[in-house]
Amino acid sequence: MKDVCILAFESSCDETSVAIIRNGHDVISNVVLTQMDTHANYGGVVPEIASRMHIENITMVIEEALTKAGLDMEDIDAIAVTYGPGLIGSLLIGLQAAKTLAYIYDKPLVPVHHIAGHIYANNLEKPMEFPLMALVISGGHTELVYMKEDYDFKVVGSTLDDAVGEAYDKVARVLDLPYPGGPKVDKLAHIGQDTYKLPLPLDDDTYNFSFSGLKSAVINLKHNEAQKGNEIVKENLACSFQNKVIEILTKKTIKALKEYNCDNLIIAGGVSANAGIRDEFKKICALNKINLTIPNLKYCTDNAAMIGAAGYYAYKLGRRADLNLNSKANDKLN
Ligand code: KG4
Ligand code: ZN
């Protein structure tokens, strides 16, 4: 069978990324230019600055992806691009670049949902086996997605308020940790102990999640201790918070796997880089004989390789967009 090379674009937040992926799993090149240091000065992503930086960097990132791969546009079969969800101004830059190249070089344009990309980051590890349950945990999403086959997404549960990553970043701020806080809370949690009593969030029969109550409990606890003149022990609070997150994620995910009679689990999204979450899922999946895949750390957070992996399957299924494709800040996983 002829190889299929996808040139992929990802610019939904603060990473400008272009990758070339062969047959949905071989990463030929994956260039990720993060703006993290710039946004750290403001305590979070500033959308206006993010889109301006994407404009400044996108051409350079495209050239580097092609050069590193040793390929030129003639070798490319299709162009895949994240059209949403994400920051509208950021999305537009990657989308415009993708459309421009598709037009000039007369290549098929394949629209990719950002979360489909995160899910397919797992295909870069090993071929995804179906049926599977995907636990998507990122800065903007917390979802359990059941997939019977490629590109068949059934959302069985989602967050009612804050996404896990968002809760991590907000808790980090309460602990006076710089942006992006998720990885820093994770590190602290590892040296701390679970000494603070926090609620297990939305411990019910549904597959939905809620993290704003847990986040508020952390904030209230800090204020109450301050009023009593007590300093909080940051690493212990980080550990207590992380343990509750892990407890509810594992509990609902294992329950969903059982109900759907499914023994393949993949974890996706930026928070899947969390060492505590990775370790606990490895343990609990071994115990329950679940076949677990988690992306390599470099494919957990935003990158174009995952868009190229998803884009390959979307391309094979005949999904195409024309030059009217617009970016969407919000869109259902499809
Ligand atoms: O998937 P991603 O790169 O962007 C979105 O699509 O949202 O996820 C970014 C999120 C941020 O909230 C960041 O704090 C979180 O992932 N994150 C982590 C870790 N690494 C990244 N959260 C907890 N522990 C980590 N090690
Ligand atoms: Zn993402």
Q: For the segment 248-295, what is each residue's pLDDT rounded down to a tens digit?
A: 999 999 999 999 999 999 999 999 999 999 999 999 999 999 999 999
Q: Specify whether 144 is located in the same domain as 48.
A: no
Burial zone of 220 (CB within 10 Å; 0-12 exposed, 13-18 middle, 19+ buried): exposed
Ligand whose nearest atom lies closest to the CA of 307:
2
pTM: 0.96
Q: Specify whether 240 is located in the same domain as 272.
A: yes
17 within 8 A of 290, measured Cβ to Cβ? no
Q: What is the DSSP string of 74-97?
A: GG--EEEEEEESS-HHHHHHHHHH
Report the candidate in 152, 225, 169, 165 with the shortest Cα–Cα distance to residue 195. 225
Q: Specify whether 139 is located in the same domain as 110.
A: no
Q: Specify whether 190 is located in the same domain as 280.
A: yes
Whether 270 lines ligand 1, by a CB cut-off of 6 Å, is yes
**Would 326 be classed as within a structural domain?**
no
Whether 117 lines ligand 1, by a CB cut-off of 6 Å, is no
- 47-72: pLDDT as tens digits: 999 999 999 999 999 999 999 999 99
Separation of 196 CA from ligand 2 center, angstroms? 30
Q: Please list the residues that pair with 32 across neighbouring strands.
A: 17
Q: Specify whether 107 is located in the same domain as 248.
A: no
Residue 1 has pLDDT above 90, yes or no: no
Q: Specify whether 111 is located in the same domain as 219.
A: no
* Protein residue with least CA distance to atom 1, ligand 1: 270
Say how far apart CA 243 and CA 186 lie, in whole Å.
Answer: 10
**Would 59 be classed as within a structural domain?**
yes
Say how far apart CA 251 and CA 98 lie, in whole Å.
Answer: 41
**Would 214 be classed as within a structural domain?**
yes
Say how far apart CA 24 and CA 159 lie, in whole Å.
Answer: 29
Q: What total number of domains does the chain contain?
A: 2
**Would 275 be classed as within a structural domain?**
yes
Secondary structure of residue 66 in the 3-state scheme: helix
